[in-house]
Amino acid sequence: MVQKTLARRDCKIFTAEDAEKGLEIARTEKPDLIMMDVMMPGALDGLEATRVLKNDPMTSNCVVIMLTARGQSLDIQKGLEAGADEYLVKPFSPLELLRKVEKILDD
């Protein structure tokens, strides 16, 4: 659903099966926007991956949107403290996703 929704903006989309691969892609491709789940396979979760991104000079300017089913205020606080720029709680609508992305990319 995320890829289909972002295709409306004619975005170039990269996908990664885990945080480590996502970090590698972020360093080589330098995307304008990174969307990741809090819960991810591998050694790093989305919170730690966001911390790594935001503390790396090569990727610190990347905008990060956390996508997660964890919608409690403490979970949102943890995501924002890790460096996420936005936080979307699943399930979300394609329109909600598109509006968040457009707001971020158009600023």
Output the pLDDT for position 18.
Answer: 94
Are 65 and 100 spatial neighbours (Cβ–Cβ below 8 Å)?
A: yes
For the entire predicted model, the pTM comes to 0.88
Pairing verdict, β 63-68 and 86-89: parallel
Report the percent of the chain where pLDDT is more than 90: 58
Please give the angle made by the CA atoms of 43, 92 and 76, to the nearest 5 degrees: 50
* pLDDT tier for residue 8 given thresholds of 50, 70 and 90: confident
How far is it, in rounded angstroms, from Cα 10 to Cα 26? 19
Output the pLDDT for position 1.
Answer: 80
Please give the angle made by the CA atoms of 90, 91 and 93, to the nearest 5 degrees: 120
What is the per-residue pLDDT across 22-74, written as a single tens digit (0 to 9) for each?
999 999 999 989 999 999 888 999 999 999 999 999 999 999 999 888 878 88
- Strand, coil or helix: what is 37? strand
Domains and CATH numbers, the chain: 2-101 (3.40.50.2300)
> What are the φ/ψ torsions at residue 26 (nearest 5 degrees)?
-60, -40
Output the pLDDT for position 65.
Answer: 94
